[in-house]
Amino acid sequence: MQRLFTDIVHLHDKAFRHALTFPRFCNSLLQMILPESYKKELELDGVRLLRDTFVNQDLEKIISDSIFFIPCKDSVDFIVAIVEHQSTHDDSMILRIGDYKQAVIKAAFSERKKEDIKSIPYIHAIVLYHGIQTYNAVKNLAMLTRNPHGWSQSLDGFSYDVFNLHEMSDETFTQNDWAGALCFVFKHIRDRNGEESLLQLLKILDNLTGQDSAAYKSFVLQYFCSGTDIIPRRFDEIFSRHNRSTYLEDQAMTLVQRWAEEGRQEGRQEIMQKMMDMLRREGADPKLLELASQLTGETETSA
């Protein structure tokens, strides 16, 4: 199995970006987070990612996680939805959203000159948040603007919505299948009782079917278990109690075997490192330290 999450520091960002490679996830995500009034007018089956369209040397350092093109149902019009994933609180989010929107507007103006288009698309920005801290960052720049005389000036271009996953019920995630599975993990990946959350997650995954569903289930499980402290033995026991599909049975064994081997490897390296530290503290002979160092290298190579 491909190892997706080797860098825990960026675990959540990597998970979100990888999920965007699944079209069913993108559609499901927008179904879950867009306002009802929008969904009635939009053709969500026609959604496609536009991130690469707006990336150039000037913008690549500020670009959003995802920029979606969404066509309207009854016309050639479309809107652009920007979804920014956040696992930590960021007071400057209002400025970042402004940068993202300007990037889209600049690209639209460029296309406007080429194709004689007289308007730019409506842009709707959403922050998908699952951080520990309560989200209280400003969502409209007008709230920060000093305006003692009440002069009218539009600052709506910097505004955005927040979709706080901690405020959602788990039932909502169950109803939104593909996006619901990942958002459930976003919400619960820091839970102390990861075993209970895993049981709930397996029930959500059992309902996922269709093209790429096997790969998506594998990815979600890897992400969940990379961020929790469930040991392989307990993971296997949970799977044995769950009325799982054939796919999950096979997948459970693959995951358990991988984690068990990683645990053994980490254990060997930890023992050797402790031995090296002890020898250094005791002022061991340099030749003995060299021999121990070689032995550590052999252990790491043979694992």
What residue numbers bound the domain in which 156 lies? 34-167
Q: How confident is the model at residue 300 (pLDDT cuts 50, 70, 90)?
A: very low
Q: Kindly state the DSSP code that residue 160 receives in the 8-state scheme.
A: -
Q: Is the pLDDT of residue 303 over 50?
A: no
Give all strands of the β-sheet with 122-129 in edge-to-edge order: 48-49, 66-71, 78-86, 122-129, 161-164
Residue 126 belongs to a domain: yes
For 58, the token pair is: 């000037």
In a domain, 235, yes or no: no
Tell me the pLDDT tens digit for each residue of 254-299: 555 555 555 555 555 555 666 666 666 656 667 666 766 666 554 4
Per-residue pLDDT, 169? 92
- Tens digits of residue pLDDT in 58-72: 455 445 568 898 999
Q: How confident is the model at residue 95 (pLDDT cuts 50, 70, 90)?
A: confident
Q: Among candidates 29, 54, 51, 30, which has minimal Cα distance to 41?
A: 30
Average pLDDT over residues 162-175: 92
In this predicted structure, what is the pLDDT of residue 301?
Answer: 39
Average pLDDT over residues 28-35: 92
Instruction: List strand residue ranges (DSSP E) for the chain, in order.
Output: 48-49, 66-71, 78-86, 122-129, 161-164
Mean pLDDT is lowest, of 34-43, 83-92, 246-255, for 246-255
Q: Which of 4-8, 54-58, 112-116, 155-159 is the least confident region? A: 4-8
- Please report whether residue 16 resides in a domain: no
Q: Is residue 146 part of a domain?
A: yes
- Quote the pLDDT of residue 98: 85
* Per-residue pLDDT at 178 exceeds 90: yes
- Is residue 73 within 8 Å of 43, Cβ to Cβ? yes
Query: Cβ(179)–Cβ(163) under 8 Å?
Result: no
Share of the chain above pLDDT 70, in %: 63
Question: How high is the mean pLDDT of the chain?
Answer: 75
CB-CB contact of 221 with 199 (8 Å):
no
Decide the pairing of beta strands 161-164 and 122-129. parallel
Tokens of residue 264, six digits: 């053994």
User: Do the domain assignments include residue 255?
Assistant: no
Confidence of residue 247 (pLDDT cuts 50, 70, 90): low
Evaluate whether residue 97 is within a structural domain: yes
The number of distinct structural domains making up the chain is 1
Global pTM value: 0.71
According to the model, what pLDDT value does residue 2 have?
42
269 within some domain: no
